[in-house]
Chains A and B, each alone.
Chain A
Amino acid sequence: MKIVVEDVEVWYNSVKALDRVTLSISSGELAFVIGPNGAGKTTLLKTIASVVKPRKGVVYIDGKAVSSLSPKDISRLLSYVDPHISRSIPSTVLEFLLTARYPHQNMLSFSISTKDLEIVEKVSRQLNIKQFLDRRLDQLSSGELQRVLIARALIQEPKVMLLDEPSAFLDLRYRLEVLDYIKSVVKRDNIVAIVAIHDIYLASLYADKIIVMNGGSVVACGAPEEVLKKDILEKVYGVKIAIANVDGRKIVIPLEPLEKGVQI
């Protein structure tokens, strides 16, 4: 299976958000999208998830254009972790997680199968959210909620998983644990995961492929060692960068802005 984004252009009213983006990601790959604010990372994910419709270009999943699939097919194929969910009507974590199985169920089937509950059980154990399955969503801390949202995407058992800033709000341990688990799922189930992230270090740790974006277009795309280069990152972020070597790992360290944008 393969995701191919071909010459995609997305506009929000009169603002161009994605400009002729072309890339491809194969199954078993964990790809990270990095870039400064407003680079189009979220828009790229939303376009692949078919939440945003491109004005030009096509997204192919497994050789089929996403625009030709029914919403139900898309929901079985792909899950997009939206960091914003509504929590104004009180509901529990379990109630929320169970909705993720709907794409695989008949619309009117009233009972929930044991298999569905076992999947919820397994994922919530892995992400260490088992102990608050019966807590209300609005009573969770941001880090706990983040893990619940990621758990939801995994419970949906998609072929393609799209995550927007999954490491935000997580502490050091969970940043590593969550991404580690996502990577293991990608390898085990041979799926595709695309993660938009700000933390370049985390990306360098887990990425099979890194996509660098700026101003709505792809600046560089490839294996971490090909992409995480001083000249590319300095140009994209406008930040002076040093690459340090710790235990044989290349670590990107931002030093200072190239131009002082903020005058004091």
Chain B
Amino acid sequence: MALELYKRKVKHFLISLFTLIVLSMAITIASLSIGPSMLDPKEIFKTVFLSPFGMATSDSSVRLVAMLRVSRTVASFFCGVALSIAGILMQTTTRNPLADPYIFGLSSTALTAISLTIILSPSTAVYRYNLVVVAFIGALLGYFMTMMLAKLAGGGSLALVLAGIAVASLFSGVSHVLLYIVQRVIGTPIVYFLMGSTNTVLYRDIAFIAYPTIALLIFSIALFKPLNAYLYGDDYAKQLGFNPKLISLISTGIASLLTAITIAFIGIVGFVGLAAPHIARFFVGSDHRFSIPITALVGGILTTFADIVVRLVSMYSGAVGELPLGVVTSIIGAPFLAYLIAKRMRQ
């Protein structure tokens, strides 16, 4: 029984993994082909995946346009990966299924830290990776603020969510004001940070988004045993020889760093970190050795999909400029929050 059940779980995992990898490839090709000048997905497929076999397209205009979309495609995919791992780590360390970098206020405090830094020293904004450090400190501060406020409110799981919403609202207001001042200082519109955009990501930036995210993803998967033990309580983790405080500190650090990366390059993209872990758990259960990789892929696919929707809406509405990315992820992710709250309150 146990053996068959476990085998079935591994099978579910492998099927989900395979399906999601295929889906990721498909959405990457779609993201490279869709835009004001539509490209043939077949040509893109050849160029991206078959070029080692000498099958790359000879059409140089296809290559050129696709090149322009590489940075936003990679950025949106890894932004989703980063946010969803941050989400699952926060859900585990707070043992709260409603945890997410946006809902708990980390994103807003990180952005506030960034805008303050740009006002004080505008030149730091030239290289966005400088901003990651600042955003990391901001995210950590936001997390501890939320935890402290929740403790004051009695420490229940809903107290935590409400504390997060209070911190998030306050600092999204503050960062909004600061970003208006930033516009005057550096003379370019930078308000898109508030709801996230991949439009401004530069080709030179994508290495700074992708590699740290992959490294932190692998590191998180390596922590699957302590995380699994942590799920059932501090005393339980202690029982199995793990240090619960250390687990929580390390995961909070990773989650904050991942959030900081997305904020520094793309801005606030909400609800991906909430939705992706739930979707992953639905397919492979809550064992982190399976749920973290699946969560990462689901998050990447969701965000890339949202980024395609952003472009389609701006193409067909004929409006000037683009929708922010965070708007679309909110529309996809917020119903999840509603569903989870309804389920939780009834218990």
B window 284-305: CB within 8 A of A: 285-287, 289
- Asked if B285 contacts A51 (CB within 8 A), the reply is no
B window 88-116: CB within 8 A of A: 91-92, 95-97
The distance from the CB of B79 to the nearest CB of chain A, in whole angstroms, is 24
Q: Mark B222-233, 1 if CB is under 8 A from A, else 0.
A: 100110110111
The answer to whether B157 has its CB under 8 Å from any CB of chain A is yes
Given contacts A89-B95, A90-B281, 15 further A-B contacts (CB under 8 A): A51-B239, A70-B241, A71-B242, A75-B241, A80-B239, A86-B231, A86-B232, A89-B97, A89-B281, A89-B286, A95-B285, A99-B229, A112-B6, A124-B1, A124-B2
The CA-CA distance from A114 to B2 in the complex, in Å, is: 10
The CA-CA distance from A73 to B231 in the complex, in Å, is: 21
The CA-CA distance from A182 to B70 in the complex, in Å, is: 62
Q: Which residues of A contact B225 (CB under 8 A)?
A: 99, 102, 105, 107
Residue of A nearest to B226 (CB): A107
A window 81-119: CB within 8 A of B: 82, 84-92, 94-100, 102-103, 105, 107-108, 110, 112, 114, 117-118
The CA-CA distance from A94 to B284 in the complex, in Å, is: 13
The CA-CA distance from A95 to B240 in the complex, in Å, is: 15
- Asked if A94 contacts B231 (CB within 8 A), the reply is no
Would you mind naming 15 contact pairs between A and B with Cβ atoms under 8 Å apart?
Answer: A49-B239, A72-B241, A74-B241, A75-B239, A82-B235, A85-B236, A88-B157, A92-B285, A95-B286, A99-B240, A103-B241, A107-B225, A108-B222, A118-B3, A130-B1
The CA-CA distance from A102 to B229 in the complex, in Å, is: 9
The CA-CA distance from A102 to B5 in the complex, in Å, is: 19
The answer to whether A134 has its CB under 8 Å from any CB of chain B is yes
The distance from the CB of A166 to the nearest CB of chain B, in whole angstroms, is 16
Which residue of the partner chain, among A82, A96, A120, contacts B239 with CB atoms under 8 Å?
A82
The CA-CA distance from A80 to B286 in the complex, in Å, is: 23
Closest 7 A-B residue pairs measured CB to CB?
A: A75-B241, A91-B286, A72-B241, A121-B2, A71-B241, A86-B233, A85-B232
Residue of A nearest to B287 (CB): A95
Q: Mark A49-67, 1 if CB is under 8 A from B, else 0.
A: 1010000000000000000
- Asked if A88 contacts B242 (CB within 8 A), the reply is no
A window 113-140: CB within 8 A of B: 114, 117-118, 120-121, 124-125, 130, 133-134
Q: Which residues of A contact B232 (CB under 8 A)?
A: 85-87, 96, 99
The answer to whether B238 has its CB under 8 Å from any CB of chain A is yes
Q: Which residues of A contact B51 (CB under 8 A)?
A: none
A window 189-230: CB within 8 A of B: none
Q: Which residues of A contact B228 (CB under 8 A)?
A: 95, 99, 102
The CA-CA distance from A99 to B231 in the complex, in Å, is: 10
- Asked if B1 contacts A133 (CB within 8 A), the reply is yes
The CA-CA distance from A51 to B103 in the complex, in Å, is: 34
Q: Which residues of B contact A107 (CB under 8 A)?
A: 225-226
The answer to whether A146 has its CB under 8 Å from any CB of chain B is no
Q: Which residues of B contact A90 (CB under 8 A)?
A: 97, 281, 286
Which residue of the partner chain, among A51, A89, A102, A118, contacts B240 with CB atoms under 8 Å?
A102
Q: Which residues of A contact B233 (CB under 8 A)?
A: 82, 84-86
The answer to whether B243 has its CB under 8 Å from any CB of chain A is yes
Tally A residues with Cβ within 8 Å of B.
45
Q: Which residues of B contact A95 (CB under 8 A)?
A: 228, 285-287
The answer to whether A79 has its CB under 8 Å from any CB of chain B is yes
- Asked if A91 contacts B285 (CB within 8 A), the reply is yes
- Asked if B5 contacts A94 (CB within 8 A), the reply is yes
Which residue of the partner chain, among A75, A94, A125, contacts B6 with CB atoms under 8 Å?
A94
Q: Which residues of A contact B235 (CB under 8 A)?
A: 51, 82, 84
The CA-CA distance from A88 to B6 in the complex, in Å, is: 22
The CA-CA distance from A107 to B229 in the complex, in Å, is: 12
The distance from the CB of A42 to the nearest CB of chain B, in whole angstroms, is 12
The distance from the CB of A55 to the nearest CB of chain B, in whole angstroms, is 19
Which residue of the partner chain, among A86, A97, A99, contacts B95 with CB atoms under 8 Å?
A86
Known contacts A102-B225, A102-B229, A110-B289; is A89 also within 8 Å of B92 by CB? yes
A window 152-192: CB within 8 A of B: none
The distance from the CB of A132 to the nearest CB of chain B, in whole angstroms, is 10
Q: Which residues of A contact B97 (CB under 8 A)?
A: 88-90
Q: Which residues of B contact A98 (CB under 8 A)?
A: 6, 287
Q: Which residues of B contact A96 (CB under 8 A)?
A: 232
The CA-CA distance from A92 to B231 in the complex, in Å, is: 12
B window 237-257: CB within 8 A of A: 238-243
- Asked if A117 contacts B240 (CB within 8 A), the reply is no
B window 1-59: CB within 8 A of A: 1-3, 5-6, 9
Residue of B nearest to A85 (CB): B232
- Asked if B243 contacts A71 (CB within 8 A), the reply is yes
The distance from the CB of A137 to the nearest CB of chain B, in whole angstroms, is 8
The CA-CA distance from A62 to B306 in the complex, in Å, is: 61
B window 198-237: CB within 8 A of A: 222, 225-226, 228-229, 231-233, 235-236
The CA-CA distance from A195 to B239 in the complex, in Å, is: 17
The CA-CA distance from A101 to B209 in the complex, in Å, is: 37
B window 147-167: CB within 8 A of A: 157
Residue of B nearest to A50 (CB): B238
The distance from the CB of A39 to the nearest CB of chain B, in whole angstroms, is 21
Q: Which residues of B contact A97 (CB under 8 A)?
A: 2
The distance from the CB of B108 to the nearest CB of chain A, in whole angstroms, is 25
The distance from the CB of B320 to the nearest CB of chain A, in whole angstroms, is 44
Q: Which residues of A contact B92 (CB under 8 A)?
A: 89
Which residue of the partner chain, among A84, A89, A92, A110, contacts B91 with CB atoms under 8 Å?
A89
